[in-house]
Amino acid sequence: MTIFDYQVGPAKTAKANTPNNNPTANNNQAKSATGSSVATYGDLMKQLEQPLFRAKQLAQWLWVHRANNYDEMTNLPADLRDKLKTAAPLKRAMAEKVVKSKDGTRKYLIRFADGTSVEAVGLPSIDDPACADSTKRLTVCISTQAGCSLACVFCATGRSGLIRNLSAGEIAEQVRIVGEGFKLRVSNVVVMGQGEPFQNYNATLAGLRILNAAEAEGGFGIGARRITISTSGIVAGIRRLADEPEQFTLAVSLHSAIQETRDKLMPGLASNNLNRLATALLDYWKATHRRPSLEYALIDDVNTSAAETAALISFAQRTKAHVNLIPLNATDANLKAATQVEASKLSGALRDAGIEASIRAERGADIKAACGQLTQAE
């Protein structure tokens, strides 16, 4: 294990330490002490027979002071620093390449210690004179897996298959690197990069807890509601998230509310059928009182017909969700973006049906940094 396999928090009970990445499993273990089955810095200190206040010091060195090695952690005793070098090696991820879009978006190719890479994207707020602090806001889109096993047809990531899951610290490293690149405090995080977060549930939640924890606890201090987890629709993961103590925001990539169309676009999701998905989303809303959002890429001749629109309206009404319409971004797939007219027609129909809908202004498409365009390495 490296230090990136741990998350913020005090030591847990022994029962909570067994890794369990299956969102369908009994959640009692995950709800114990710190709400996750990923080992904490407190567990590490306990293992090294250290006082538990060292856990917070370690977290602060890692994520607030951003130390590059244990020798920089001068308020930790030298013998503890030596033990940590062996028990949980620290090797920071690196930004290997940065590509800048004309709209201010930047795509980062980030390489981890074992050579695996992912892409993350920084989206600074567009200057808005009406908003005094608009230039200070930075949203970071992060990945939770290198590659993805789900092979959605409109997505470049899925084409390379799954390379491996990322650890909690590797997920947080992306936010650190992009924030440092912009020299801005990260205000929002969207988990919409490579991978399906609920197929790497434990590490994803543990990574988000590092981002959400207050700086005094050694985290980034990003509010839970400013962190959005986007799933392709893994029902068991949605049910498990509903049960977590944090108020993370949920988005679901829907792309069609007709089963046959969705199965063609997202063949890896067939077992999470639309009926099960709708029930899980309604239960999520009932349990959390937070409305999920449905992401809907507008694809010409595929999901903008009258029948598709009617199905989307019915699905959104049933799940209390609002809808984000997304212009389809170019990948190698043989699919065409819907026209502006089709997009306006669909969004008008949603609004007429009383559903909150917006057409997302896509950014970073010129550097292949928009939704569905991220790949392994260049």
**Contacting residue, 9, 42, 122, 158, with ligand SF4 by CB under 6 A:** 158
Which residues does 341 contact at the CB level (< 8 Å), separation at least 6?
A: none
Residue of 148, 152, 155, 371 marked active site: 371
Closest distance to ligand SF4 from the beta carbon of 229 (Å): 12
Question: Based on CB atoms, which residue is closest to ligand SF4, 80 or 156?
Answer: 156
Strands 138-141 and 117-124, sheet pairing: antiparallel
The DSSP line for 79-90 is HHHHHHHHHS--
Rule CB under 6 A: is residue 326 a binding residue for ligand SF4? Answer: no
**Contacting residue, 3, 11, 16, 155, with ligand SF4 by CB under 6 A:** 155
**Contacting residue, 50, 117, 157, 376, with ligand SF4 by CB under 6 A:** 157
Token representation of residue 246: 């944090």
Which residues does 184 contact at the CB level (< 8 Å), separation at least 6?
A: 124, 136, 137, 138
> Which residues make beta-bridge pairs with 165?
145
Token representation of residue 42: 């407190």
Contact region with ligand SF4 (CB under 6 A), list: 24-32, 125-133, 144-152, 213-221: 144-152
Residue of 119, 170, 217, 342 marked active site: 119
Applying CB under 6 A, what is the total number of residues that bind ligand SF4? 13
Please tell me the distance from the alpha carbon of residue 210 to that of residue 349, in angstroms, as a whole number.
Answer: 41
**Known active-site residue 119:** yes
**Contacting residue, 52, 151, 258, 330, with ligand SF4 by CB under 6 A:** 151
Which residues in 88-107 contact ligand SF4 (CB under 6 A)? none
Which residues in 232-261 contact ligand SF4 (CB under 6 A)? 232, 253
Please name which of 197, 111, 100 lies closest in space to residue 377, comparing C-alpha atoms.
Answer: 111
| 125 CB neighbour count, 10 Å cutoff | 17
**Known active-site residue 371:** yes
Please identify which residue in the block is written with the tokens 């939770």: 144
Q: Which residues are the active-site residues? A: 119, 371
Q: Which positions touch ligand SF4 (CB under 6 A)?
A: 148, 150-152, 155, 157-158, 194-196, 232, 253, 372
